[in-house]
Chain A
């Protein structure tokens, strides 16, 4: 039933990408799955009613994060975006598939080796109040990773921490060094968290909804800071967000996730201007626009994201999709490039189907 598509499949794209330019990729995920077992009741496990169920939080996701880019990961709650962030850091172990950081397969590392590698990958979470110990001053929090990873440098930890506080715009740093989290504002707290993430000079920062808690007027400033730091320190970000309007102002490329599967991937401008997957279109259409004259054109999909325990067959979006056809119920769509944009991939039978009918030799005329 599978059509022969000699020009490109995702697997080939990713493989050729990793073969030719693996030195350009900082993180490589290949067909990564993460299934969480569902806890069963005592009776169920004794009589083994039904086989053990799994939440398929991430179900076959592949992508690369290039050095120096901001890679966005967007989707609704339950799409698996945060789980992927944790898999990239090996805070969770993948059920299947490989996660490579700078060419190293993370699953082959011993815990001690992993800990050592973690200096090069850091994370910023949504809620700075939850990420910071209420009993640690900003300075102690920022210098803590240094004390752990480089105990020999503990001597000048104050100097280093103040340097970082200065870098994230908390000046005068000597004043902020002794502040407790409750003594500073929410935006300043998130700056402390960012400073702490940067003190070990990482190459990758996983930012999981880093500005979702911040007030509107603070958001733009935090995004500015993140962009500046990226350029100055040559960082790569895995930027996880549910807010497509925010993603627009920072991401280079974006991947849209739906129910643990990939829906679309491409350069941000291409995905936003020319969204192909019906889910991406719906997601973009649903974002509230701060303009009272604007009226939504695209109809909203029916219902809500279904349970990842028994995800729908075929394309996971088909029960909510406005254009679904029989093939969508039966076959899982592959990620395929969309027309002239080799970088822009979409997993939709009907969108890439158009492409299949084109004669590959005539394509481009």
Chain B
């Protein structure tokens, strides 16, 4: 589609579709999503529960498990440096090759660090084991030194490295998770609600740290969250998802300042702003649809305040409305005559 770019994006997702095979039928959690993640950016992915944002994050590492399945799409990943998988479609890799990519090239941080850390393993062992699994040539001593340096950089006193996860606070555990990602110098970190279990002050500290690390380690972060405030604070670009599809994508100032899609608009207006004295919150009608039997046409049309006749007939295509700012909405697309089947 946009092959002619000067520097290839780190990750190009093309027409990704993920289905969950349930007893009631197939649930299409991600429906034909195409998205580029640029090198060194923080891309915020927002949406309400059930919109498919976590599924998308997992699909990037091919971590979708039964009864889910990536039914189609391409995952072009252009890792740098020591990564062997330059410009390869991860969908074509064997399970063994994929295991190399996970952790080493793409790393993931989840909401609850306690479920990701082994409770009977010291922090130092988590780190050295990770380093030595992927880089068997590194000696135990060197791995430990690297681990200590990292922990120190992340603001944890190096002597705490011999602690067990339960001896650390929530914020420290989440820093350890980041350390695990950095220990292998992963290109991309997928942070799925990584700050949701943290208190506000710790969350703010963690976001500040992430920003610093991005520059220092040339890290790219996909920040998946339901918290609009965090995206405004930390992201360079924002993708808004609704019912398995992208509704809007653009630079954070464009998306917040000149919101295009009515869903994105409602979502942003529903968030209270502590700095405003009397901000009237927007009340969005209805609830997200059941994805086993989604609404026809644009999936937001039953809740949309600006719905038109066209919206229930045919789904709008996702495309650029202005430079670097895309949406999928008939308001911004020439409506074809209803008898004309083609979209463009």
Contact = CB atoms under 8 A, between A and B. Distances in A.
For chain A, the bracket of interface size reads 35 or more
A39 B203 CA distance: 30
Interface in A177-233: 185-187, 215-221, 223-224
A146 interface: no
Interface string B262-300: 000011101111110100011110011000000000000
B252 interface: yes
Given A217-B48, A246-B272, A288 B201 contact: no
A287 B226 contact: no
Contacts of B199: 76-77, 242, 304-305
A290 B252 contact: no
A186 B204 CA distance: 28
B65 to A, nearest CB: 22
A221 B232 contact: no
B208 A300 contact: yes
Nearest to B230: A288
A287 B202 contact: no
Contacts of B282: 220
A164 to B, nearest CB: 21
A129 interface: no
A220 B171 contact: no
B169 interface: yes
Contacts of B256: 290-292
B201 A294 contact: no
Contact of B171 (A215, A244, A249, A304): A304
A305 B49 CA distance: 30
Contact of B200 (A76, A220, A224): A76
Contact of B253 (A219, A249, A292): A292
Contacts of B232: 288-292, 294
Contacts of B257: 292
B228 A287 contact: no
Interface in B209-248: 226-230, 232-233
Interface in A293-327: 293-294, 296, 300-301, 304-305
B118 interface: no
Nearest to A307: B169
Nearest to A224: B283
Interface in A35-62: none
Nearest to A302: B205
Nearest to A219: B270
Interface stretch (A9-17, A18-26, A278-286, A346-354): A278-286
Interface residues of B, number: 42
A219 B284 CA distance: 10
A173 B50 CA distance: 26
Contact of B169 (A224, A246, A301, A304): A304
A291 B203 contact: no
Contact of B233 (A186, A216, A288): A288
B274 A244 contact: yes
Nearest to A269: B277
Contacts of B284: 217, 220
Contacts of B273: 245, 289-291
Interface in B187-205: 199-205
Contact of B48 (A215, A221, A248, A273): A215
Interface string A321-364: 00000000000000000000000000000000000000000000
Contacts of A284: 274
Nearest to B48: A215
B253 A187 contact: no
A288 B226 CA distance: 12
Nearest to B201: A286
A292 B230 CA distance: 9
Contacts of A223: 281
Nearest to B233: A288
A220 to B, nearest CB: 4
A215 B207 CA distance: 22
B268 A304 contact: no
A287 B200 contact: yes
B200 A242 contact: yes
A285 B229 CA distance: 12
A249 B278 CA distance: 8
B267 A217 contact: yes
B271 A216 contact: yes
Interface in A69-88: 76-77
Given A215-B49, A220-B270, A242-B199, A291 B275 contact: yes
A300 B201 contact: yes
Contacts of B268: 290
A221 B256 CA distance: 22
A291 B230 CA distance: 10
A206 to B, nearest CB: 21
Nearest to B195: A288
Interface in A239-270: 242-246, 248-249, 269
A112 to B, nearest CB: 40
A305 to B, nearest CB: 7
Contacts of B205: 300
7 contacts: A216-B270, A244-B200, A245-B272, A287-B274, A291-B232, A291-B273, A296-B204
Top 8 nearest A-B pairs (CB, nearest first) are A288-B229, A76-B199, A217-B284, A286-B204, A220-B281, A215-B48, A245-B272, A286-B200
Interface of A: 76-77, 185-187, 215-221, 223-224, 242-246, 248-249, 269, 272-273, 282-294, 296, 300-301, 304-305
